[in-house]
Amino acid sequence: MVTNLLNDRYQVIRTLGAGGFGETFLAEDTYMPSRRLCVVKQLRPIQNNTQIYQLVQERFQREAAILETLGGATDQIPSLYAYFSTEGQFYLVQEWIEGDTLTAKVQKQGIFTESAVQEILVNLLLILEYVHSQYIIHRDIKPDNIIIRKRDQKPVLIDFGAVRESMGTIVNSQGLPTSSIVIGTPGFMSSEQAAGRPVYSSDLYSLGMTAIYLLTGKQPQELATDSHTAEVIWHNHARNLHPLMVEIIDKAISYHPRDRFPTARGMLEALQSLASPIAPTQGYIPPTLPPTPNTPSRPTVPVDIQKSHHNQKGILIGGLIAIGGLIAGGVINQVFTKSPQTATNTDVSVSVKRSPVVDTTDSPTINANSTNNPEDNKPAQIKIPADESITNSVTSPVTQNSDNNYSWLSERPVTDADLAGKTGYELDIMRNTIFAIHGRQFKTTELQEYFNQQSWYIPKYSPDEFPNNALSALEQVNVDYINKYQDRYNLRHFSK
C-alpha cells in the first residue's frame, strides 16, 4: 500500500483497482481549493533490468503527453492533470469521471435498446475518429472502459492501453526491448491485436463486440464462433434488430481487418444511414482532423501510434440524413449530415433545406452581415460529387448561399480557418446562430434585435426554457470550439 499522501499533494481516499503493473486510487488534490477528486494510477515497471526501466521511463513521458493532448481536445476522454515519478515508480493523475461503466449499467438495468446502443456507438465513433487521427489506437475498448457520466449521460472512454504498454514491454530473443506485446481483453480483442499487431479497425472490432454485449448481455466467451470462418455467432441472442444495424455490427467484428470498416468515419456514416437513428448526446467531433495516412507498409513506430494500413474509402451513403431520436426522455428533431467533400469530375446540383432545431445555452451562431432578403429563404443550390447521390432533402432556416449563412455549423465541424479574421461581434453572432436556428431567444437586447431582423428566425423558447438537449452533438462541439477560440484570442463583443 502506498503512503496516504502521494507527491506531497494527492490524498488517497481508497483503492479503485489493482493489476499486474500497479494500482489505481481515488484521491483528493490537496493543492486545489475545491480538493477536487482525481484518479491516480501507480505504474510499477520492472526494475531489475536497466534497459527496460529506461525504456519505460521514456515511454511514460511520451504517453503522458499523448493523454494530455487527447483529454484537452474532448471532454469524453479524461483530462490528464499530472504525472510524476518517485522511488522508482511512476504515477499518472487523471480526471475522475463519476458514473457507471457499461458493464455496471447492464448489471443494474439489463440489456440496452437498439436506439440506446446506436446513440452510444455514434458518440464513441466520434471520439475514435479523433483518437485515430492522432495515430493512437486505444486497444482496450470494452464495457468496463466506457463510463456513462452521471451529470450529462455522455459516454466517456477511459483507460488507454497505450499507457499500459510501456509497463508491459518485454525483451525479445535477442535481448532487445520490444513493444509488440498483447494489450487488450480476450473476447473484445481482435485476432491481429491478439498477435500484437493492432490496426485502427481493431478498435472498431472491440466496439462492435461491446455493442453485442449491450444488446444481448452476453460476454464474448459466451458466444459461439463459426468453425469455418471464425466469425462470432450472436444473431440468435438479439431479436428484432434493424437489418442494417446487424449488418454494421457484423462488418465491424469481421475476423479479418480487410472486411471491416477501415475507419471510424466509415462506420459512423453507416450508422447514420439507418432509417430512424438516435441522435447522439452531445458527443465529440474533432474540429480539424488530419487525414488518416494511407501507408502500404508497416511504419517503424510502436503499434499504438502506427499509421493506418487502410485506404479511406469509407462507405458512400446518401448525403443528408434526417434523424429523429429520444434523448433524455424528450423527442427532438435533428439533422446529421456528412462533412462536405470537394467535388470531383462531374457535379450535380440538388436543393437542400434544413428544419429548425433546438438548443439550451446562450451560445447560438450566425454571421454579422445577415440580411432580410427574401431570396435568402430559397433552397440553395449546392454541388456534390456525382458518386454521392443525395436521396433525402432537409429544410434549413438559414440560406446556403448567403454571405451571412452559418447553417453549415449544423453540418460539419468548425475549424480555425473558418474563424480567422472575424471580429468578436461576428464570432458572437456565429456562435449564437446555432441556438437561434432552434428558436432560442436571448437576454442580451442587441443580440435579440439582430436575430429578430433575420427572416428565417422563429423565436420559440425563452432563455430559461430552452431545452438542454436541443443541440446535436456536432452543434454542441462547434459552440464549444468557437467559445474556446474566442477565449484564446480575447475576441468577444457581448458578455459570454
Close Cβ partners of 299 (under 8 Å, ≥ 6 residues apart): 306, 307
Grid cell in block for residue 100: 457507471
In angstroms, the CA 280 to CA 315 distance is 20
Confirm or deny that 41 is annotated as ligand binding. yes
First to last CA, the chain: 47
Tell me the CA distances in angstroms from 107 to 100, 104, 217, one per residue in order.
Answer: 10, 5, 9
Closest CA to 301 of 179, 163, 129, 166: 179
Amino acid identity, position 302: P
Q: For the beta carbon of residue 45, count every other beta carbon within 10 angstroms.
A: 23
Grid cell in block for residue 8: 506531497
Choosing from 29, 75, 100, 140, which is the catalytic residue? 140
User: In the annotation, is 226 catalytic?
Assistant: no
State residue 56 phi and psi, 5-degree precision: -60, -40
In angstroms, the CA 141 to CA 154 distance is 16
Amino acid identity, position 342: T
Q: For the beta carbon of residue 273, count every other beta carbon within 10 angstroms.
A: 14
Q: For the beta carbon of residue 35, count every other beta carbon within 10 angstroms.
A: 12
The torsion defined by the Cα of 106, 110, 116 and 119, in degrees rounded to 10, comes to: 10
In angstroms, the CA 382 to CA 347 distance is 10
In angstroms, the CA 393 to CA 349 distance is 12
Task: Name the residue with cell 429544410.
Answer: 395
Alpha carbon 27 to its chain centroid, in Å, reads 27
Measured N-to-C along each axis, helices 424-437 and 445-452 cross at an angle, to the nearest 10 degrees, of 60
Burial class for 47, CB neighbours closer than 10 Å (0-12, 13-18, 19+): exposed
Q: Are strands 232-233 and 321-327 parallel, antiparallel or unpaired?
A: unpaired
Q: For the beta carbon of residue 394, count every other beta carbon within 10 angstroms.
A: 21
| Annotated binding-site ranges | 41
Please give the positions annotated as active site: 140
| Annotated binding-site ranges for ATP | 41
